[in-house]
Amino acid sequence: MNNHIHWYPGHIAKAEKQLKEKLSQIDVILEIIDARIPYSSAYEDIETLTKNKLKIVLLNKSDMADENKTKIWAQKIEKKYGCPCLITTSRNQKDTKIIINKILEVSKPIFEKLKQRGLLIRPIRTMVIGMPNVGKSSIINKLTGSSKAKTGAKAGVTRTQQWVRVHDKVELLDTPGIIPMVQKNQLKATKLAMINSISENAYDNEYVAGELLKILDEYYPEITKNYYKTDKLTIEDIALKRNWIIKNSKPDITRTSQFILTNFRSGKIGKVTLDEPNDF
Ligand SMILES: Nc1nc2c(ncn2[C@@H]2O[C@H](COP(=O)(O)OP(=O)(O)O)[C@@H](O)[C@H]2O)c(=O)[nH]1
Ligand SMILES: [Mg+2]
């Protein structure tokens, strides 16, 4: 069994340069993180890339996360980064207004400066950044009110960027920024694999599913056992319960590992958070 996440850095330097160029045009950054892993899906050295920029953090996919822990996380993030943190989901439209209002609110100093200098008020420029699969395209779609930004489980569609007016005073870049990175922290990387933020050929499903079960067993034993109808939360037990057997009466680990990851990613097991707010 292979318990390491492998990275294929590719064109990291080039991507980083492109991102910096994009960021140079931006007033307010919307950093999206996954509410199920607020620590593991946040960029560690974001400050170096985004210094001097106004920022709003969105704890997205909150519809699949543990509500109480999300509230604690939001407070922690506001304290740590000194910026507002909104609890969002791309599943409904109502968060759109809240996000735009928050952009206007944090932009007040910029409007003030322009006024003082006797300059015309220009629209605030904003862009979405975040790791793969946290809901960047979905949020952009909600804000632009169209399907301009492609959504999907995999990153990859490259197009030229465009500014979209989402309010009289706010423009949004219609392509998100993805910070190129190599995640050296194996536990963080494993959690990113759980939320499908990492290319599937970089890890072993059995390892990642096993680690997921361990966390669920520690923090959400009742709802998880109830969902799988087993007393023990192991891949083997879940396979046997479902009667997924391969030759020599062995449990079908491959199929069951994939099944467990799919259940978690679709939110079927329940509303759970895998990064403990009190640990950070
Ligand atoms: N449950 C839930 N699913 C979401 C949410 N936002 C995005 N998704 C789903 O997550 C997947 C990735 O979303 P996408 O916007 O393409 O993420 P991106 O890779 O960051 O651009 C898609 O299947 C979306 O439908 C959310 O707030 N809640
Ligand atoms: Mg996308």
Q: Ligand 2 centroid vs 190 CA: distance in angstroms?
A: 21
Q: How far apart are CA 159 and CA 253, in angstroms?
A: 40
Q: Ligand 2 centroid vs 33 CA: distance in angstroms?
A: 13
204-279 — its CATH code?
1.10.1580.10
12-173 — its CATH code?
3.40.50.300
Supply the pLDDT for residue 154.
Answer: 44
Q: Select the highest-mean-pLDDT range: 149-163, 165-179, 227-241.
A: 227-241
Extract long-range pairs of 86-91: CB within 8 Å, 24+ residues apart.
Answer: 86/56, 86/57, 86/58, 86/59, 87/35, 87/59, 87/62, 88/58, 88/59, 88/60, 88/62, 88/139, 89/60, 89/61, 89/62, 89/63, 90/60, 90/61, 90/135, 90/138, 90/139, 90/141, 90/142, 91/63
Q: Give the mean pLDDT of 210-217.
A: 98
Pocket of ligand 1, beta carbon within 6 A: 60-61, 63-64, 89-91, 130, 132-138, 151-153, 155, 176, 267
Pocket test for ligand 1, best of 64, 90, 198 (most atoms within 8 A of CB): 90
What pTM was computed for the model?
Answer: 0.90
Determine which residue's CA is closest to atom 28 belonging to ligand 1. Answer: 61
The bound ligand whose nearest atom lies closest to the alpha carbon of 154 is 1
Kindly give the pairing relationship between strand 170-173 and strand 124-130: parallel
How far is the CA of 215 from the CAs of 28, 181, 229, 264, in angstroms?
A: 35, 25, 17, 12
| pLDDT averaged over every residue in the chain | 89
pLDDT, tens digit, for every residue of 17-27? Answer: 888 888 989 99
Of the ranges 49-63, 140-154, 182-196, 219-233, which one carries the lowest mean pLDDT score?
Answer: 140-154
Q: Give the mean pLDDT of 251-279.
A: 97
Share of the chain above pLDDT 70, in %: 89
Supply the pLDDT for residue 178.
Answer: 82
Q: Give the mean pLDDT of 32-58.
A: 89
What is the three-class DSSP state of 29?
Answer: strand
The bound ligand whose nearest atom lies closest to the alpha carbon of 88 is 1
Domain boundaries, the chain: 12-173, 204-279
Supply the pLDDT for residue 121.
Answer: 82
Name residue 8's amino acid.
Y
212 within 8 A of 260, measured Cβ to Cβ: yes
29 within 8 A of 56, measured Cβ to Cβ: yes
Q: Ligand 1 centroid vs 263 CA: distance in angstroms?
A: 15
Q: Ligand 2 centroid vs 235 CA: distance in angstroms?
A: 31
pLDDT greater than 80 at residue 42? yes
The one-character DSSP state at 152 is: -
What is the three-class DSSP state of 79?
Answer: helix
Q: Ligand 2 centroid vs 32 CA: distance in angstroms?
A: 12
Q: Ligand 2 centroid vs 156 CA: distance in angstroms?
A: 8
Determine which residue's CA is closest to atom 13 belonging to ligand 1. Answer: 135
Supply the pLDDT for residue 229.
Answer: 98
